[in-house]
């Protein structure tokens, strides 16, 4: 972790922490990586990712913070479900973010979708 990152000075006034949304974004990117590695988009012409699934219950629990003093951030993701149909592939998982070996938050039910470009 680079203590000079812009968000430490911009997120909370005089309380430098990484926004939780950046960790959730990292989890979404891991879901996308999983989908690409498993070729889940191969059935769609010009596939695109839907960054967050609507209609999917998601819960976050924060129990700590990533601060400028954090040396290492680790993100874990467990895939719970892959649902495929002719219009969309949905990938849903649970994720955890660790700061220097301590779990600081978790997200349950996070999901992305894959569709053909131009469809919803």
- Point out the catalytic residue in the list 1, 5, 7, 11: 11
Distances (CA, A) of 57 to 15, 60, 75, 83, 90: 30, 10, 21, 15, 13
| Residues found in the chain | 120
Active site residue 87: no
- Residue (of 33, 22, 27, 20) closest to 65 by Cα position: 20
Kindly list the catalytic residues. Answer: 11
């Amino acid at each position: 972790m680079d203590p000079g990152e812009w968000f430490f000075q911009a997120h909370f006034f005089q309380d430098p922490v990484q926004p939780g949304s950046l960790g959730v974004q990292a989890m979404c990117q891991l879901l996308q990586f999983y989908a690409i590695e498993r070729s889940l988009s191969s059935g769609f012409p010009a596939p695109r990712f839907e960054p967050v699934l609507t209609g999917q219950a998601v819960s976050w629990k924060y129990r700590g913070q990533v601060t400028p003093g954090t040396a290492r951030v680790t993100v874990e993701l467990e895939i719970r479900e892959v649902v495929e149909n002719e219009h969309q592939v949905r990938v849903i998982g649970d994720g955890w973010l660790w700061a220097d070996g301590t779990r600081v938050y978790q997200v349950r039910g996070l999901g992305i979708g894959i569709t053909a470009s131009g469809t919803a």
